[in-house]
Amino acid sequence: MDHFLYKAGELFAEDVSVREIARTVGTPFYLYSAATLRRHFALFDEALSGMDHLVCFAMKSNANLAVLKLLGDMGAGIDVVSVGEYLKARAAGIPGERIVFSGVGKKRSEMETALAGGIRQFNVESEPEMETLSAVAQAMGKVAPIAIRVNPDVDAKTHAKIATGKAENKFGIPISRAAQVYRRAAAMPGLEVIGIDVHIGSQLTDLGPFETAFERVAELAEALRAEGHDIRRLDLGGGLGIPYENSNQAPPLPRDYGEVIRRTVGHLGCEIEIEPGRLIAGNAGILVAEVIYVKQGEDRQFLILDAAMNDLVRPAMYEAHHDIIPVREPAPGGEAEVYDIVGPVCESGDTFATGRALAPQRAGDLVAFRSAGAYGAVMASEYNSRPLIPEVLVDGDQFAVIRARPSYDDMINRDTIPAWL
């Protein structure tokens, strides 16, 4: 469920007209619903009720400070994968004890920043990282709390580019070598081993891979405890998918995911961390664009928008589907036109959809991309020297720009021409 609905023939975000925001902000722009963000976070929190747990929002899905502040005020932790994300989370008011630092390539300087500023745990991905973190912590007179990420060799049955739990993926330590690696970690003076971390991929629409992975984690936890390790926290990652396309085959609900967690690892008495991102933010956001031209091709019509692949790269990068709807509600039973929906970037890959049926459009009309709140703005670029687009947050009947559109001068002035040219 989201809070983007037609009212009196116009698309609204909660109680604010999308067209009115477009008049104020200009297009294209991202638009987030505070009510949807709150609702989706609460669903995960409720799914783990009765268990000691922390829901850590996967910040890589949406890194806007206002979004982080909103979720942090509800008690969310944050899963970060870079020192930039760590610093943004702290700037949003998230305390260090609610920040988990993941990622395969943490540098010494990043470790130092997190240890100095406070951290809940490092999710360690390799033995060289363990050695570096121990040395950094010792030099600072600290002990770094760690969970070791294990790779359970489970096929998440998702897009190859977002699968992370198979043996050939770069993430984690093979679960077959976990006992040996935990022994090494326990002997390192700068580290405190507190748990196990696992994350098998993103946009999963089947609970089966989760169940398999969590069962393997439970077996490992019991084996490690038998060796004397104090395994008291399980970080089970995120990955639960969202319905990008209207269909009757909706992904599992957070409560069903929570039941899998109870069934597989609930008996261990561990504190549970989960790291949802897409399901919290995805359907909480839309991308609003204006039609520049309707162009007749040899055998198709092109709907040319002012949004492009640099603003929303998922269709070009993952062949991803986003429902695209007109901001003006179509008349019931009206005829549709078939379009290839494209942007103005000079790449054939700048195509959002091919052969998509849509109510007839003309220049100046507005359309909205649904399910664009996750991995939209965070993956945007300035390709073709197109400035990043604004982000807007709606809360009830009010809205605010939470990231302004840079001017062309802002973009140009970041470059420096050396004096010798």
CB 265 within 8 A of CB 236: yes
- Characterize the bridge pairing of strands 77-80 and 337-342: unpaired
For the cut 90, the answer to whether the pLDDT of residue 279 exceeds it is yes
Find how far residue 270's CA is from the centre of its chain: 25
Tell me, yes or no, if 56 is annotated catalytic: no
**Residues 6 or more apart from 375 whose CB is under 8 A from it?**
60, 61, 278, 282, 314
> Is beta strand 351-358 parallel, antiparallel or unpaired with respect to 10-13?
unpaired
The model's pLDDT over 334-350, given as tens digits with 9 standing for 90+, comes to 899 999 999 999 999 99
**Tokens standing for residue 48:** 């783990």
> What pLDDT, on the 0 to 100 scale, is given for residue 403?
98
Q: Report pLDDT for 165.
A: 41
Report, as an integer, the average pLDDT of 206-234.
95
Query: For the residues 26-55, what does the mean pLDDT come to?
Result: 97
**Where residue 159 falls among pLDDT bands split at 50, 70, 90?**
very low
Q: What is the pTM of this model?
A: 0.94
pLDDT of 19: 98
The predicted pLDDT at position 170 comes to: 57
Whether 383 contacts 401, CB under 8 Å:
no
**Structural domain spans, the chain:** 4-31+282-412, 34-281
Quote the pLDDT of residue 1.
66
Which range has the worst mean pLDDT, 237-241, 255-259, 311-315, 355-359? 237-241
The pLDDT of 110-118, averaged and rounded, is 98
226, 331, 346, 417: the catalytic one is 346
Q: Name the token pair of 414.
A: 């970041």
- In this prediction, residues 319-335 reach a mean pLDDT of 93
Instruction: Tell the CATH superfamily of the 34-281 domain.
Output: Alanine racemase (3.20.20.10)
Select the more confidently predicted residue: 12 or 174: 12
Please list the residues that pair with 5 across neighbouring strands: 12
Residues 6+ apart with CB under 8 A from 175: 150, 151, 152, 153, 216, 220
What's domain 4-31+282-412's superfamily in CATH? Lyase, Ornithine Decarboxylase; Chain A, domain 1 (2.40.37.10)
* Residue of 7, 41, 105, 45 lying closest to 261 (CA atoms): 45
